[in-house]
Amino acid sequence: MATTIQPIVPQIPADQLANALARYREGFDPTLIELPEAAVFPHLIAAQPSTARKARVTGVLLGRPAPRFVKRGRSVRYRLSDVLAWLAAADSHGSTAAVAAAGQ
């Protein structure tokens, strides 16, 4: 019986993110799940990839310390655990009046 070779179809960033989140919900350790930059920016963190590149140089993203990243050769990857921790560390407010009262 002849075998057919399936072409490798690269996943788009949204698909990579969906697969990573599905694995996370299934119980995979988020420190072992790595995402490419295009899946994180702007899909999880509301910033453009160019802003993310600048943040890796300056260490600051959106006014606070940038999320940690991993270099794999020339590729930049983000561990899901680091992205989730960065998102969880953000200040949350109930209203714009609360932000003004806090002096931010």
Which is nearest to 33 in space by CA: 46, 49, 47, 44?
44
Q: Does this model's pTM top 0.85?
A: no
CB of 68 closer than 8 Å to CB of 80: no
Per-residue pLDDT of the chain (104 residues; tens, 9 = 90+): 566 665 555 667 888 899 999 999 999 999 999 999 999 999 899 999 999 999 999 999 999 999 999 999 999 999 999 999 999 998 777 788 877 887 65
Orientation angle between helical segments 13-25 and 80-88, nearest 10 degrees: 80
Structure confidence at residue 32 (pLDDT): 92
Instruction: Calculate the dihedral angle through the C-alpha atoms of 35, 37, 39, 40, rounding to the nearest 10 degrees.
Output: 90
Distance CA 16, CA 14 (A): 5
